[in-house]
Structure 1
């Protein structure tokens, strides 16, 4: 790198190491915030996975019950180890607990 490139780069304080590191290095390391989300049987979930419900769930505010065996496609991880964000027809902003799903 040239001196001009390092002078223009942003630095971020890394609480894990207690040092200031270049933002590009922190992004390459994944930020260190990776939360491992596991389903009811211990499988690791990732963004875009499909899951199946293992229990009937009553959805608050939607007056609807999602039945056991319902397939939810294209989940998104929220950063919380027990919550996944997903879409289902007729329900906006659906967040499920990982303990009630199984990876498909």
Structure 2
């Protein structure tokens, strides 16, 4: 089961918040601290979740997320 930075279990469709500024590989953009992300999707890896930012889908490590 994937867990956020505080140890809370993450489920399909949860809303999370980014706890650290993250550079997005392959683009010049940065995901700012405090950004809310809705409707996450779980992946086969326990420490990663998939989410949509704008029109692109990215994979984020759960250690940088906080469940809201």
**Shorter-chain TM-score category?**
over 0.9
Q: Distance in 2 between matches of 1:78 and 1:68?
A: 23
Which of 38, 61, 64 does residue 97 from structure 1 map onto? 61
The higher-RCO structure (CA 8 Å, 6+ apart) is 2
Structure 1-normalised TM-score? Answer: 0.63
- Are 1:73 and 2:4 an aligned pair? no
Report the alpha carbon displacement of residue 62 of structure 1 after superposing the two structures with TM: 1.8
Once the two structures are superposed, the pairs formed by residues 38-49 of structure 1 within 5 Å of their partners are: 38-49=3-14
Structure 2: 5+ residue stretches without partners: none
Q: Distance in 2 between matches of 1:70 and 1:99?
A: 15
Count of residues paired in the alignment: 68
Aligned to 2:17: 52
Q: Distance in 2 between matches of 1:76 and 1:55?
A: 20
Q: What value does the CA root-mean-square deviation take over the aligned residues? A: 0.8
Report the alpha carbon displacement of residue 61 of structure 1 after superposing the two structures with TM: 1.0
Structure 1: 5+ residue stretches without partners: 1-35
